[in-house]
Amino acid sequence: MGNYLLRRLSIALPSLLGISLILFVLLALAPGDPFGELATNPNIPPEVREALRLKFGMDDPIIVRYLHWLVAMLHGDWGFSFASRVDVDTLILQRIPTTLYVIGTSQLVSLIVALPVGVYAAMRPYSVFDRIANTVAFIGFSLPTFFTGLLLILIFSVNLGWLPFVYRVDINATGWQWYWEYVKQAIMPVTVLGLFQGASYTRYVRAAVLDVIRLDYVTTARSKGLDESKVIVKHVVRNALIPVVTLVALQMPSVFGGAIVTEQIFRIPGIGSLLISAILANDTPVIMAVTFVFACLVILFNLMADIIYGWLDPRISYR
Amino acid sequence: MAGLTHVSPIVEAPLAPRPASRKRRFSPWGEAWRRFRRHRLAAISVLVLALLALAILVGPLLWHVAIDDIDFTARLSPPSWDHPFGTDDLGQDLLARMLYGGRISLAVGFAAMAVSMFFGTVIGAVAGISRGSVDAVLMWVTDLFLSLPQLPFLLLVTYLFRDTLTKLVGPEGGVFILVVLVIGIFRWMPVARLVRAQFLSLREKEFVEAARALGASNLRLVVRHILPNALGPVIVAGTIDVAAAIIAESTLSFLGLGFPPDTPTWGRLLFDAKDYLDIAPHWALFAGGAIFLTVIAINFIGDGLRDALDPRKVM
Amino acid sequence: MNERELRNLVGDVKAGRLSRRQFVQRMVALGLTAPMAGMMLSQSGVAEAATAIPYKPTKAGGGGTLKLLYWQAPTLLNPHFAVGTKDQEASRVFYEPLAGWDGEGNLVPVLAAEVPSKDNDGLKEDGLSVVWKLKQGVKWHDGTPFTADDVVFNWEYAKNPETAAVTIGSYKDIKVEKVDDHTVQVVFAKPTPFWADAFVSSIGMIIPKHLFADYVGGKSRDAPANLKPVGTGPYLFVDFKPGDSLSAKRNPNYHLPNRPYFDTLEIKGGGDAVSAARAVLQTGEYDYAWNMQVEDEILKRMENGGQGKVQIVPTGNIEFIALNSTDPNTEVDGERSSIKTKHPLFSDPAVREAINLLIDRASVQKFIYGRTGVATANFVNNPERFRSKNTHYEFNIAKANQILEAAGWKKGSDGVRAKDGKQLKFVYQTSINAPRQKNQAIIKQACQKAGIEVELKSVVASVFFSSDTANPDTYSHFYCDAEMYTTTMLQPDPDRFMNQFVSWEVATKQNKWQGRNISRWQNKEYDDLYRKAESELDAVKRAAMFIKLNDIVVGDHYILPEVYRPRVTALKSGLVAHLSGWDNDLWQLASWYRET
């Protein structure tokens, strides 16, 4: 296992490099121009635009630009946004707390809800609880987030007036009031995201537990007189977890840049909205930096999942 | 995890030959079908889905109202005899639009699911059964696709391939292929990882060893032994994929990369309806309801399939 | 409307028979701008009415927080680099120009002591220079006094091509000289009828010399003051998160007494226009929402709640459809839509006229844009005797059918008209935008009834409006038969607006499609008249020329104006904000207050 780990880590670095090269080439080839706005302005002579392009090295061959970027990254210089003339790492750091707070919480909430609900539903398949849980899950992932978000806004903000729907990062309040304001504005986005995410998690957990729950070793454990909860937790869940771990590992990186629609609707200044506005403004340094971090997270979480498989099921061997 | 010995009375074909008076033929598929039929919800769902498909195929022949008949006097009107589903903000009949768009939405949903399931299963199986470098390379490819930013990639693919496809298959066919490919490309990775994970644990089990000892080739091992047992989460993924594909298609057309803006796919109808949610809720309700119904039906069918195909299942 | 009739109208205003306001409205209806009309009057000696900006509070401060919502988030705070009006508005919170334009086309001094005119020797007869007198006692936010040096510096900063300022066009052909600490003279290279361009309005915001002097030319983008602005405006900078939010607090040393009213200011960006409207009109979370590009139907319903209202101010922006005069499907020297080709269908004037008759402008206005888009053929709500015969609009499917039939376009078996083997089919594109898609659907349907088949295409806005030379979907490539978008008047003078139809601005592969004449329409008469209007100093003569230019363009039916787009803003009840369509929304931010 130690060998396996070392091997995977040593592969991780070149694979990251390869991914970053492909991403860079992709972005360079994609249509769109960061200085597009300047072109529609009749007052800007073409020489000015040319000067800008030269300055940012945009007409150099792709491989040269890639190497510049790589060298800069290695020095810790993540680049300089075209759109807002700010260091890219400043931009990202500004948004991390909010991202972790809202999107991170929704991932946690969805897991915390999905695990017990899925397990309980699988323990009593086709019971009333199971049917309700299933139906709610179906509603959750068959409706796009722009729709559920809007529905919640209409009900809770417009009609009832209970919750604010524009997310504000600087709130002028102190003490408990401040905390309460933050919680109030996070309730709706967390619900929307959590519902969407939790719905599919619930279905997966239920399916995985159903696979396991009727097997003989479970009956054996029960007949040995073990407490039901012990049976469930120690025997059933642990064995059912492999697909769930796979999924969670796949979903975690999306905290960093996945919840684009929800962030738009509630105006949450997270990494997702940074990514989408950078894409629409063709702000390449920002896009590269965010997708690079995203790629690192993907590789990291998938590696962790592979390790966890080994821990969950000792029969899995790595050669 | 996959079981070792069976626990409760499961119907098995008795080995001894039966008296000639009652000839019952048992085959695994026949068994599966019988079990599927007994799963009530799944059976109902098949019916529902069949009805939906029928409505979509035959409906436009029976309901003659045009899908793009703009009628300003009847804007945003709730359901009535003239317009059973009401009208949208240009006065176009929603029933006709939904029947027309349903073809596209369902076709896209199923095709995209098929693409992602196919690639995901194949890659996951190959990665799961092999060791060392093949697995590592395939996982690297999976990680690469997972890190791809969807939006720039979509723009690039559209920009590169739209003209060629249009020349090959005509504008509608071209867009359809493009949309299905694009959605499928972004959804095969979870399936691959799920399949691979299942394989990693299943291939160590005794029944696989036994089969191998009996001389089964890798291909046979995979197809007849491991894959059927690995299908559980994969089926769930497939059913979730159809819903995701229908919704992804609406996001694509919102970005101008899918079907032309006047094509009334269900996702697009929902998107157009969202701003009028408090004014004309019938619009969003019908569109969302159709997607919801499809998703539920497919999910129950998936449940039924899983129960039917897995010989360990108890009803 | 010719010169003589215009002079008569001016005479009426002078004699008091016509109010200034009515004159301006007529001029706008003719296709001119309010500032131009204002110029015409002031040049003819009609005294400018002192523009009163009503302001009730008796002391500065005490108003609490003002919350503004922009559905495109500002990313920059340097007015010389502003990309789009959102950045200009954010900069306008801190920086001010010498003067601004009010809704009626009058110049209102801000950092200038008074508006230059013939009476105070600000304007010279030969049109070659303008003298601005600066207001005394104005201080930058850090206490340094504002002087003529700052004004001169702004000119040097903007005109330098290495700075790559978006405002360069207004500063590169002038010379600015300091006369004394509070007076500057602007010298033009040739007689310039429209002198109120440099240092006025959104492109005229003044940045402090002492903070930017070290960051000129290539280093301009590194200045820390780009993100921490120090200006003369009513609010002081507190914090800025690019792409998200901006916060500011009251400037206690502002140069106007008893202003500003609010203690703190917050600007939030992002999201879409509809939810921004909700935040002001339904939940009241915000006081103001910018640029409400929302269907009027939805806005009206939201207003019914009584928490806020929508304010509409006229601008020069117009949504129009351009028919390609070149052939997008034939490639010449590696270029499609080349000016060496002619469009197979649209070169027939009957086809163009028919299409013009198939645009149901009235329905587009009534059912899509409502108050936010007024149907026009450049003449709107005009009394009969001022209406030009060329420029009225009509929606008549039967007539379109007749014209096509008479011109030889017969309906084929599939219902599509054809002539000489060419079918009347065309591709019509625009950007992704719900009202635009509906607009397209309406036109497609009308065309179908006349036997014309239309294929609709919509492109992502950021691609459609980009300047990418490799992308065939941009509006400047125009690789399809018809396209539709709104052309904005970035300046209150039609000069730069009308130069998008001159032949030397045609967008071609050679100039990388950066030319402004995207429709590729060329007309010698237009070119000659435009050249004359560029240097005509007499405001009335000039106005007549622009009206004629308007008629020439519209009369040829390649350019089909549809609706003109006023600016729509959502305001919470009780907020008094003085908006002008010819300047930024925040041009009089200092005088905003809330009625209690």
Q: What is the mean pLDDT of chain C?
A: 84
Could you tell me which chain A residue has the CA closest to the CA of C173? Answer: A43
Probe site for chain C from B90, B156, B157, B274 (most C CB atoms < 10 A): B90
Q: What angle do CA C399, C402, C403 make, to 5 degrees?
A: 90
For the ranges A24-38, A94-108, C224-238, the maximum mean pLDDT occurs at C224-238
Probe site for chain B from A11, A13, A22, A142 (most B CB atoms < 10 A): A142
Q: Which of residues 86-125 of C touch B (CB under 8 A)?
A: none
The pLDDT of residue C591 is above 60:
yes
Do B10 and B314 meet the contact criterion of CB atoms below 8 Å apart? yes
Cα distance from B262 to chain C (closest Cα, Å)? Answer: 7
Q: Residue C268's closest CA among C295, C288, C298, C238?
A: C288
Q: What is the mean pLDDT of chain A?
A: 80
Contacts of A35 in chain C (CB under 8 A): 467
Probe site for chain C from A47, A48, A145 (most C CB atoms < 10 A): A48
- pLDDT value, residue A302: 82
Contacts of B153 in chain C (CB under 8 A): none
C314: left (phi over 0), alpha (psi -120 to 50) or beta: beta
CA–CA distances in Å: residue C130 to residues C91, C156, C175, C186? 26, 17, 11, 5
Could you tell me which chain B residue has the CA closest to the CA of C443? Answer: B70
Residues 6+ apart with CB under 8 A from C12: C18, C23
Closest Cβ–Cβ partner in B171, B256, B279 for C459: B256
- Chain A neighbours (≥3 Cβ pairs under 8 A) are B, C
Could you tell me which chain C residue has the CA closest to the CA of B258? Answer: C458
Contacts of B10 in chain A (CB under 8 A): none
Section B130-135 average pLDDT: 81
The pLDDT of residue B56 is above 60:
yes
The pLDDT of residue C389 is above 50:
no
Could you tell me which chain B residue has the CA closest to the CA of A314? Answer: B201
A243 and B197: CB-CB below 8 Å?
yes
Backbone angles phi, psi at A280, to 5 degrees: -70, -25
A203 and B299: CB-CB below 8 Å?
yes
Backbone angles phi, psi at C100, to 5 degrees: -130, 170
- pLDDT value, residue A38: 56
**What secondary structure, in 3-state letters, does B54-71 show?**
HHHHHHHHHCCCCCCCCC
Do A89 and A78 meet the contact criterion of CB atoms below 8 Å apart? yes
Closest Cβ–Cβ partner in B142, B151, B201 for A242: B201
Closest Cβ–Cβ partner in C363, C458, C471 for B72: C363
- Chain B to chain C Cβ contacts (< 8 Å): 58
Section B274-282 average pLDDT: 82
Contacts of B155 in chain C (CB under 8 A): 460, 463
The pLDDT of residue B20 is above 60:
no
- pLDDT value, residue C36: 75
Could you tell me which chain C residue has the CA closest to the CA of B272? Answer: C434
Closest Cβ–Cβ partner in C297, C301, C458 for B256: C458
The pLDDT of residue B311 is above 80:
no
* Tokens representing residue A282 in the block: 């063709």
* Tokens representing residue C59 in the block: 């002391």
Q: Residue C273's closest CA among C288, C292, C260?
A: C292
The pLDDT of residue C66 is above 90:
yes
- Rounded Cα distance between C549 and C557, Å, is 13
Could you tell me which chain B residue has the CA closest to the CA of A313? Answer: B201
Distance from chain centroid for Cα C380: 18
Least confident of B259-263, C148-152, C353-357, C591-595: B259-263
Using a CB–CB cutoff of 8 Å, tell me whether B255 touches chain C.
yes
Using a CB–CB cutoff of 8 Å, tell me whether A1 touches chain B.
no
C168 and A43: CB-CB below 8 Å?
yes
Cα distance from A291 to chain B (closest Cα, Å)? Answer: 7
- Rounded Cα distance between C105 and C10, Å, is 15
Closest Cβ–Cβ partner in A138, A287, A316 for B152: A287
Contacts of A204 in chain B (CB under 8 A): 233, 236
* Tokens representing residue B159 in the block: 């920009």
The pLDDT of residue C264 is above 60:
yes
Q: Can you spell out the DSSP letters for C221-252?
A: GG-GGGTS---SSSEEEEEEETTTEEEEEE-T
- Rounded Cα distance between A26 and A279, Å, is 12
Confidence of residue A212 (pLDDT cuts 50, 70, 90): confident
The pLDDT of residue B5 is above 50:
yes
Q: Is the peptide bond before C472 cis (omega within 30 degrees of 0)?
A: no
Q: Which helix (H) or strand (E) holds C133?
A: strand C129-133
Do C505 and C520 meet the contact criterion of CB atoms below 8 Å apart? no
The pLDDT of residue C359 is above 80:
yes
Confidence of residue C388 (pLDDT cuts 50, 70, 90): very low
Least confident of B162-176, C333-347, C418-432: B162-176
* Tokens representing residue A275 in the block: 């990514």
**What secondary structure, in 3-state letters, does C309-350 show?**
EEEEECCCCEEEEEECCCCCCCEECCEECCCCCCCCCCCCHH
Confidence of residue B314 (pLDDT cuts 50, 70, 90): very low
Closest Cβ–Cβ partner in B3, B236, B284 for A204: B236
pLDDT digits (tens, 9 = 90+) for C542-561: 777 887 888 888 888 888 88
Contacts of B146 in chain A (CB under 8 A): 250, 253, 298, 302
Confidence of residue C111 (pLDDT cuts 50, 70, 90): very high
- Chain C neighbours (≥3 Cβ pairs under 8 A) are A, B
Probe site for chain A from B133, B196, B236 (most A CB atoms < 10 A): B236
Probe site for chain B from C358, C432, C469 (most B CB atoms < 10 A): C432
pLDDT digits (tens, 9 = 90+) for B219-271: 887 787 787 777 777 887 887 788 778 777 776 766 666 777 778 888 788 87
Helices (H) and strands (E) in chain C, counts: 17, 25
C169 and A33: CB-CB below 8 Å?
no
Q: Residue A85's closest CA among C351, C24, C76, C241?
A: C76
- pLDDT value, residue A55: 66
A302 and B235: CB-CB below 8 Å?
no
Closest Cβ–Cβ partner in B1, B198, B235 for A239: B1
- pLDDT value, residue A101: 87
The pLDDT of residue C32 is above 70:
yes
The pLDDT of residue C71 is above 50:
yes
CA–CA distances in Å: residue B26 to residues B11, B17, B29, B34, C24? 11, 12, 8, 10, 91
B247 and A144: CB-CB below 8 Å?
yes
The pLDDT of residue B19 is above 70:
no
Backbone angles phi, psi at C65, to 5 degrees: -105, 140
Could you tell me which chain A residue has the CA closest to the CA of B242? Answer: A142
C271 and A267: CB-CB below 8 Å?
yes
Closest Cβ–Cβ partner in A39, A40, A264 for C272: A264
